[in-house]
Amino acid sequence: MSKVAVVTGSNKGIGFAIVKGLAKQYPGIVYLTARNEQLGKKAVKDLETQGLKVAFHQLDIDNQESIDRFSNFIKERHQGLDLLVNNAAIAYKVADSTSFMEQAKNTMRINFTGTLNLCSALFPLLRPHARVVNVSSRAGMLNIVKDAEFRNKLVSDNLSVDELVGLMAHFVELARLGKNESISRSAYGMSKVGLTALTKIQQRQFDKDSRTDLVINAVCPGYVATDMSSHKGYLTPEQGAETPIYLSLLAENWTGPKGLLWAEKKVVDWADLNWSWK
Ligand SMILES: NC(=O)c1ccc[n+]([C@@H]2O[C@H](COP(=O)([O-])OP(=O)(O)OC[C@H]3O[C@@H](n4cnc5c(N)ncnc54)[C@H](OP(=O)(O)O)[C@@H]3O)[C@@H](O)[C@H]2O)c1
């Protein structure tokens, strides 16, 4: 049985570079997915011209019908999944005139809730030894959260997915009321705080799962020159893809760190309140 890998939001940027890297070394079928079918198919053709063969399927993580169609397709065609890279995300530009309330709602809905919804649909299909990589960011280190009580809830080893969903919804509600500064000023950062906290919970769930050796990690790719960073990042997309690919290919029966945030192939202490970009 051939292994199956899926990368979300991979028509461009870091996701595209992850697919390109996996196409060279993943021992199975790699799915490039995109919300826009035309852009996705064009990306597949780009890889073909480089001698790399990948499969394509439409997938919009902000659309439950698209998620259901995709998970049904994977179930029927492959009966299982071995690698999921949750890469798709949005970030508003600083100069964007959209109200903060809207930005917070949309960013949280796509980056956090959309990713969670996709996981809910695809996790039942994961086969033993599957790997999941959540592309998060050090823009979402815990210390961007000002409120100590909110932080304590986020780091609790008993935090459930429902409670985390409630915390993220609370932030969006505060944004609606114009009171979010008591928690954080960054909608994008909070969506990634949520994703990194989710990763810890998801690994705890995997640890109790009857399927052996399910491993999930979160990763910050670094500051990468893509459309998201207005091409200001100092890493190429290929360099940004290195740690996500490393985590995608962790050895079977992995006993190393899991459920954690990584960058540059090392674990980052997400909860370090003194952390800063050096
Ligand atoms: N670039 C950086 O410096 C940096 C730093 C830290 C973390 N990250 C993270 O790295 C990941 C990739 O970012 P990037 O820099 O490569 O950004 P990018 O160039 O803007 O690419 C984002 C990708 O996500 C897709 N996407 C957005 N919403 C989607 C949805 N609802 N469903 C499916 N796909 C969707 C986009 O599709 P469209 O083409 O249709 O818009 C695009 O393919 C993100 O999770 C980002 O937060 C980036």
Regarding the beta carbon of 227 and ligand 1, being less than 6 Å apart is answered yes
Average pLDDT of 100-125? 98
Which atom of ligand 1 is nearest the CA belonging to 135? 45
Bridge partners, 132 (sequence order): 84, 216
Regarding the beta carbon of 137 and ligand 1, being less than 6 Å apart is answered yes
Separation of CA 16 and ligand 1 centre (Å): 10
The answer on pLDDT for 277 being more than 90 is no
Mean pLDDT of the chain: 98
Other CB atoms within 10 A of residue 179 CB: 10
Separation of CA 204 and ligand 1 centre (Å): 27
Separation of CA 21 and ligand 1 centre (Å): 17
Q: What is the pLDDT of residue 183?
A: 97
The answer on pLDDT for 270 being more than 90 is yes
Detail the DSSP E strand segments found in the chain.
3-7, 28-34, 55-58, 81-86, 126-135, 215-219, 261-263, 266-268
172-203: pLDDT as tens digits: 999 999 999 999 999 999 999 999 999 999 99
Burial category of 53 from C-beta neighbours within 10 Å (exposed 0-12, middle 13-18, buried 19 and up): exposed
Separation of CA 195 and ligand 1 centre (Å): 14
Nearest CA to ligand 1 atom 34: 9
Contact 31, 6 (CB under 8 A): yes
Separation of CA 208 and ligand 1 centre (Å): 31
Sign of the torsion angle spanned by Cα atoms 114, 190, 99, 277: negative
Q: What is the pLDDT of residue 266?
A: 98
Structure token pair of residue 261: 């945030």
Average pLDDT of 64-81? 98
The answer on pLDDT for 131 being more than 90 is yes
Average pLDDT of 198-222? 98
Q: What is the pLDDT of residue 99?
A: 97
The answer on pLDDT for 1 being more than 90 is no
Domain ranges within the chain, ordered by starting residue? 3-91+114-138+192-268
Contact 134, 82 (CB under 8 A): no
Helix H or strand E segment including 91: none
Q: What is the pLDDT of residue 69?
A: 98
Q: Place 54 in a pLDDT band, splitting at 50, 70 and 90.
A: very high
d(CA 178, CA 191): 17
Regarding the beta carbon of 89 and ligand 1, being less than 6 Å apart is answered yes
Pairing of strands 126-135, 81-86: parallel
Q: What is the pLDDT of residue 179?
A: 97
Going from the C-alpha of 215 to that of each of 30, 94, 262, the distances in angstroms are 18, 35, 13
Average pLDDT of 263-272? 98
Which atom of ligand 1 is nearest the CA belonging to 17? 16
The answer on pLDDT for 278 being more than 80 is no
Catalytic residues, by residue number, are 188
3-class state of residue 82 by DSSP: strand
Regarding the beta carbon of 203 and ligand 1, being less than 6 Å apart is answered no
Nearest CA to ligand 1 atom 19: 13
Regarding the beta carbon of 87 and ligand 1, being less than 6 Å apart is answered yes
Regarding the beta carbon of 221 and ligand 1, being less than 6 Å apart is answered yes
Tell me if the domain spanning 3-91+114-138+192-268 has CATH number 3.40.50.720: yes
Structure-derived torsion over alpha carbons of residues 14, 17, 23, 27, reported in degrees to the nearest 10: -50
- Taking Cα atoms as reference points, which of 111, 85, 87 lies closest to residue 171? 111
Nearest CA to ligand 1 atom 6: 137
